Amino acid sequence: MNEVVMKEKPEVIIVYGDTNTTVAGALVGAKLKIPVAHVEAGIRQQPKDMPEEINRVVTDHISQYLFCPSELAVKNLEKENIREGVYFVGDVMYDLYLKMRPYFDYKMVEKLGLKGNEYILCTIHRDFNTDNPEKLKSILSGLSQIAHEIRVIFPMHPRTKKMINQFGLKFLLENVTIIEPVDYLNIMGLLEKCFMVITDSGGLQKEAYFAGKRALVVMPDT
């Protein structure tokens, strides 16, 4: 088993969001007795067994500094008896959005021949949507019906692609425009020009709000 070697012990470990690397970084800090700062602390969602929710809860409970994006996040932590080291700082995703907006890339918009407000941007990747064949089939059937009325642009997550192929559901997307996943600047370019968003992404639904776009959220709770 390899050991983590640090030339100099940091004063604090900063982790962001709710990914596996987030909770991994927090656990490293806890094991090495290094204070952990969690940016985007206090977010809570259903279902409670989704990987991201587990990562959030574990990270919050072993962090010493909890930077919350909303007052609701602060209240969520209070319900779990976490009151020390909690700060309401606002949403760094919005800070990023405002800073990077002048650099949003519209190359994909041009490449696909898209016109403003004439297409829907869609992302689907959550396990509770992709790993259930009946639910995934229902979502894809809905997208196919919508695509008869307005073009649907679907940057497909590797997880979603894998499950669609596994369940044999690719035929449902014949009239949906499937593209490879794109980077932040390009997805924001697609977002800025779209008519609306269909997503199960916590990040993209917030960014849709930042951009003044309606979002149909394919989640039981948000």
**Tokens describing residue 216:** 């149909």
Distances (CA, A) of 82 to 61, 90, 143: 8, 18, 41
Active site residue 157: no
Burial of 55 (0-12, 13-18, 19+ CB in 10 A): buried
Residue type, 155: P
- The 10 Å CB-count burial string (b at 16+, else e) for 144-166 is bebbeeebbbbbbbeebbebbee
Residue with tokens 């007052």: 71
3-state SS assignment for residue 152: strand
61, 125, 148, 157: the catalytic one is: 125
Q: How far, in Å, CA of 164 to CA of 159, rounded?
A: 9
Structure tokens at 123: 């992302």
CA distance 58 to 217: 25
**What amino acid positions are annotated as catalytic residues?**
125
